Chain A
Amino acid sequence: MNLQLNPDGSLRHLLTLDGLPRTILTHILDTAESFMDVGEREVKKVPLLRGKSIFNLFFEPSTRTRTTFEIAAKRLSADVVNLNIATSSQTKGEAILDTVDNLAAMHADMFIVRHAQSGAAHFIARNVAPHISVVNAGDGRHSHPTQGLLDMFTIRRFKGEFHNLTVAIVGDVLHSRVARSQIHALTTLGVPEVRVIAPKTLLPTGVEQMGVKVYHDLEAGLHGCDVIITLRLQSERMKGALLPSAQEYFKFFGLTPAKLALAKPDAIVMHPGPMNRGVEIDSEVADGPQSVILPQVTYGIAVRMAVMAILAGGTTA
């Protein structure tokens, strides 16, 4: 049984993009498109989720993801409660399910879950009441589906189609839940060539089996690309000596204007944030005309609105 789909094939939870059919991905992207103008109106709200309670359960700190989920929920007129559990009851030793049960007893309708452990959102989804939906806002190294979706939305907005693109994901794929979500989504949406470009020490074993082409040389990998996704060098997650130094990394894998010139002239540059300027990306590229990093943030709100609206509409009140 697929935990994140209802028996009729509609979305029940959003936990991972792995195994989600193209129809659902496209439906989310199309719905996000129609939420795009809400942020520009006199009243930046639609009444869709009026009376629903959405809990942001952040077991791991995050500013941007939590804020965009909060704004998205508020633009749908939901009531939002933010819980930074790393600093509250977890430190008092409360088990995750006790936390969740207590919040469910407060009549929660949806949980947005961020956790350092892979599988945490799945675990909660498996144990919640039938009317509650769970959205994975990042679990360990495993998955970050709304980030993957907003990246697809960004690509579609700037490039129109997926079927004629070459997309490169550059950097710390090993520690990146974002990269996994992107690869699944790009493949499902029909991108013919997905490349990962990274030093051997920052690639998970068997990454080729996800249907990607592996490059260890940035210059060779960027040649002819339409979309370049730079990943954050997750130095805080790095255990042991995977890299000599950040300076060394920038020398070989940092995206500079000279290296960007090897991709197609109209290539776009993306980054899930937060950026390490001068490590994985040069400031001149990050702030340059080919960068779509700030539009990604704006689109993230519309995409999260779409996910929450689709999930909340699928449950019976």
Chain B
Amino acid sequence: MPASLPDANTLITRLADAIAPTLTPNTFIVGIHTGGVWVAERLHVLLRCTQPLGTLDISFYRDDFSRIGLHPQVKPSNLPVDLEGRDILLVDDVLHSGRTVRAAMNELFDYGRPASIRLAVLVDRGGHELPIRPDFAGHTLTVPSNQNINLSRLDDGHLTLTLA
């Protein structure tokens, strides 16, 4: 199974090609910390998006806070434009249960009322627990629930997917 994971950088190019025809001047790309931000940064460049890039740390919106507490490294969310009436492209690295995306949408609505939100993920690994599906997925596969797909970034910016 590990050998079958595709190259992350190829997947991002593929994702950008799929998103490009749907992009409008009103589209605002928002990456979810940490892996989603890496993917969003790449998409932002490949799609020549003129709007600034938004980042979201969903730690304050997690549904498991009372069980596991606050993530030790919370990063500030940074949404530099008014969300009111925007078309948001929400970007994450891996879609699993869908709980992160739910938390991210809850947070976005506390900043304003967007016109639409679409979801782009590098990998949809299955195991969804909520009615949340990606609008764009670089790769789709089924991974057993006891395994995790991780995106890591080297100092030179190279992204790698690993299965553990």
Contacts from A to B (Cβ < 8 Å):
10, 27, 30-31, 33-38, 41-43, 45-48, 309-310, 312-317
Contact present for B110 and A34 (CB under 8 Å) = no
Contact present for A317 and B110 (CB under 8 Å) = no
Chain A min CB distance to B53 (Å) = 16
Which residues of chain B are within 8 angstroms of A34 by Cβ–Cβ distance?
A: 57, 59-60, 74-77
User: With A41-B110, A42-B112, A46-B110 known to touch, is A313 a contact of B70 (CB < 8 Å)?
Assistant: yes
Contact present for A42 and B111 (CB under 8 Å) = yes
The answer for the CA separation of A7 and B73 in the assembled complex, in Å, is 21
Chain A min CB distance to B127 (Å) = 24
Chain A min CB distance to B77 (Å) = 7
Considering only CB atoms, which chain B residue lies closest to A317 in the complex?
A: B66
Q: Number of contacting residues on B, CB 8 A?
A: 22
Chain A min CB distance to B147 (Å) = 27
B110 is contacted by which of A10, A35, A36, A43 (Cβ under 8 Å)? A43
Chain B min CB distance to A136 (Å) = 20
Chain A min CB distance to B41 (Å) = 20
Which residues of chain A are within 8 angstroms of B77 by Cβ–Cβ distance?
A: 34, 37
Chain B min CB distance to A179 (Å) = 30
The answer for the CA separation of A67 and B70 in the assembled complex, in Å, is 24
Which residues of chain B are within 8 angstroms of A315 by Cβ–Cβ distance?
A: 66
Chain A min CB distance to B146 (Å) = 24
The answer for the CA separation of A37 and B78 in the assembled complex, in Å, is 9
* 3 pairs of A and B residues whose beta carbons are closest in the complex: A313-B69, A317-B66, A46-B60
Contact present for A313 and B66 (CB under 8 Å) = yes
A316 is contacted by which of B59, B67, B75, B107 (Cβ under 8 Å)? B67
User: With A31-B70, A34-B57, A317-B67 known to touch, is A45 a contact of B76 (CB < 8 Å)?
Assistant: no
Query: Which residues B78-136 have CB closer than 8 A to chain A?
Result: 106-107, 109-112
Contact present for A48 and B110 (CB under 8 Å) = no
Contact present for B69 and A314 (CB under 8 Å) = yes
Query: Which residues B45-70 have CB closer than 8 A to chain A?
Result: 57, 59-61, 65-70
Contact present for B70 and A310 (CB under 8 Å) = yes
16 other contacts beyond A34-B76, A309-B60, A313-B68, with CB at 8 A cut-off?
A34-B59, A34-B77, A37-B76, A37-B77, A42-B111, A42-B112, A43-B109, A43-B111, A45-B110, A46-B61, A47-B61, A48-B70, A309-B70, A313-B65, A316-B66, A317-B66
Considering only CB atoms, which chain A residue lies closest to B73 in the complex?
A: A30
Which residues of chain B are within 8 angstroms of A313 by Cβ–Cβ distance?
A: 65-66, 68-70
Cross-chain pairs A/B with CB under 8 angstroms, 22 sampled: A30-B73, A34-B59, A36-B76, A37-B77, A38-B60, A41-B110, A42-B110, A42-B111, A45-B110, A46-B107, A46-B110, A48-B60, A48-B65, A312-B66, A313-B65, A313-B68, A313-B70, A314-B69, A316-B66, A316-B67, A317-B66, A317-B67
Considering only CB atoms, which chain A residue lies closest to B110 in the complex?
A: A43
B157 CB within 8 Å of chain A? no
Considering only CB atoms, which chain A residue lies closest to B63 in the complex?
A: A47
B76 is contacted by which of A33, A48, A309 (Cβ under 8 Å)? A33
Which residues of chain A are within 8 angstroms of B107 by Cβ–Cβ distance?
A: 46
Which residues of chain B are within 8 angstroms of A37 by Cβ–Cβ distance?
A: 76-77
The answer for the CA separation of A119 and B77 in the assembled complex, in Å, is 38
The answer for the CA separation of A37 and B112 in the assembled complex, in Å, is 14
Chain A min CB distance to B64 (Å) = 10
Which residues of chain A are within 8 angstroms of B67 by Cβ–Cβ distance?
A: 316-317
Chain A min CB distance to B90 (Å) = 18
The answer for the CA separation of A317 and B62 in the assembled complex, in Å, is 14
Chain A min CB distance to B32 (Å) = 15
B2 CB within 8 Å of chain A? no
Which residues of chain A are within 8 angstroms of B109 by Cβ–Cβ distance?
A: 43
The answer for the CA separation of A46 and B77 in the assembled complex, in Å, is 12
The answer for the CA separation of A34 and B55 in the assembled complex, in Å, is 13
Considering only CB atoms, which chain A residue lies closest to B75 in the complex?
A: A34
Contact present for B106 and A47 (CB under 8 Å) = yes
The answer for the CA separation of A314 and B68 in the assembled complex, in Å, is 7
User: With A313-B65, A317-B67 known to touch, is A47 a contact of B60 (CB < 8 Å)?
Assistant: yes
